[in-house]
Amino acid sequence: MRAEPTTVFIRRAADGRYPTPPAHSIVCHIVGASRTSPLMTRQRRSHAKSREGCMQCKERHVKCNEVHPQCLNCKRHDLLCSFSAPSLTAMPLSQDSLADLELLDYWHRHPIPANASGPDSGLDYDVVRLGFSHHYLLNSILALAGLRLFEEDRSQTRWYVRAVAHHQAAITRARPHFQRLDESQHSALLSFSFYTSMYTLTEPLLRPASPSNSQSTFDPVKELLQAIWLGRSSTVFVQQHLASAVSSDPCVVGKYRLRPLEAINGLESTFPQLASLEQFIKDRCGGQERAMCLHAARSVFVSIAHLSNNPDEPTQMRAIWGWASTVDSAFLDMCAARNTVALVIFAHFAALISLGRGNWYLQNWPAVLLEHIRGILTDGLDDTIRWPEQVVFGNRLTLSSAT
């Protein structure tokens, strides 16, 4: 059954074995995944109340679907919805709204390609338009724009602060909609999930050092694993509840309609590094762990082979995200526990990421990850990650044996 590994994951996460900071818990946080009850049970509905309904629905004490500029109830009853008649008593341009206009302007000038055919597809503009009628989506877009602006000029911490605020607002606003799952919200919830997964992958490496959170305690393995766990739960949620909204966009399809990569003939002869990695695993692991690590290692090389043969965008998403979201969850546990063999394989995942060009939200991970793993590995194990280091730092895919 396809849902099997997921259930395991959600239970695992709820156990607190992977405590996730509130700002980053997307799906579990949103749907209020409880320790015992399955997702979205009825008694949890009372917590799903949204304060953002229109005035007309509030007065009539009915549930507002919060679609702007006219909600469903007002449309049905032909009422003037308060969403379409904003109050003009306040100054329309505050500092905050000016900042948001700047973010939106930035997004339009540098849309994050969500489509293999590039920004000309018009898709990004459609997403912004959808965001105007579904504000949590607009928040998630502005959060990403904030991170990008901050990355361009790290002295402008205001953009980081704004990004975090938008991300948190996005989650708070989306939560009730994830619990109700009205048809009218499906497309927006899907895009929200996509962009929010992107945010959680991007934010850790941009997070400014603070006295309580100095860079020396920053743990990229832990941070990336958390982003992977959240991305996995988001994928499962979309597959279970929003599958009908998955569009033909190759990136969205790549993340949410994962198909296994085709087997590669002669993998060992193309990548002799795989044989050395397999030997290393056999020397150090037994039983379940050995089988799991061998599988994780082989599949990371299958992904590397696919990516080096087809460097186009949809394959990138399928190969990189495919490995991260289908690798055995117990293998990720081994990485979290700093198991040496698992970390060496994880270093090869860094090589895989580095082969995906143009993934703005992933580009800084390989170097940071590899440097950290090298620091953890005990002496004498340098050889085990030499090849990924050549791929990442040498910026080339060495097909001959590394020894």
CB-count burial class (<10 Å; 0-12, 13-18, 19+) for 95: exposed
* Long-range contact pairs involving 163-167 (C-beta distance under 8 Å, separation at least 24): 163/199, 163/203, 164/23, 164/203, 166/103, 166/139, 166/140, 166/142, 167/23, 167/139, 167/140, 167/143, 167/196, 167/199, 167/203
Residue 52: CB minimum distance to Zn ion, A: 10
Query: Shortest approach of Zn ion to residue 132 CB, angstroms?
Result: 16
C-alpha angle 325/394/153, rounded to 5°? 75
Smallest gap from residue 75 Cβ to Zn ion (A): 8
H helix or E strand, kind and range, residue 132: helix 123-133
**Is the bond into 176 cis (omega within 30 degrees of 0)?**
no
Smallest distance from Zn ion to CB 179, Å: 17
Task: Give contact residues for Zn ion (rule: CB under 5 A).
Answer: 54, 56-57, 64, 71, 73-74, 81
Smallest distance from Zn ion to CB 71, Å: 3
Can you read off the two tokens belonging to residue 275? 């044989």
Instruction: Dig out the tokens for 281 from the structure.
Output: 């695993």
Token readout for 111 is 């849309």
**At a CB cut-off of 8 Å and minimum separation 6, what does 183 contact?**
none
CB of 136 to Zn ion, least distance (A): 16
Comparison of 81 and 345: residue with beta carbon closer to Zn ion: 81
Residue 142 CB neighbours (<10 A): 28
Q: End-to-end distance of the chain based on CA atoms, in angstroms?
A: 42
67/225 with CB nearer Zn ion? 67
Q: How far is the CB of 168 from Zn ion (least distance, A)?
A: 24
DSSP state of 38: P
Q: Which is nearer to Zn ion, 64 or 350 (CB)?
A: 64
Q: Give, to the nearest 10 degrees, the angle between helix 186-206 and helix 365-376.
A: 50
* Separation CA 261–CA 320 (nearest Å): 11
How far apart (Å, rounded) are the C-alpha atoms in residues 398 and 5? Answer: 34
H or E stretch at 93: none
Q: How many residues are there in the chain?
A: 403
Residue 62 Cβ vs Zn ion, minimum distance, rounded to whole Å: 7
Give the nearer residue to Zn ion in terms of CB position, either 71 or 391.
Answer: 71
Residue closer to Zn ion by CB (options 71, 227) is 71
What sign results for the dihedral spanned by CA atoms 289, 281, 392, 219?
A: positive
Q: What is the residue type of 146?
A: G
State the nearest-atom distance from the C-beta of 64 to Zn ion, in Å. 3
Give the nearest distance from C-beta 69 to Zn ion in angstroms: 9
**Could you give the CA distance from residue 388 to residue 349 in angstroms, rounded to a whole number?**
8
Beta carbon nearer to Zn ion, 74 or 296? 74
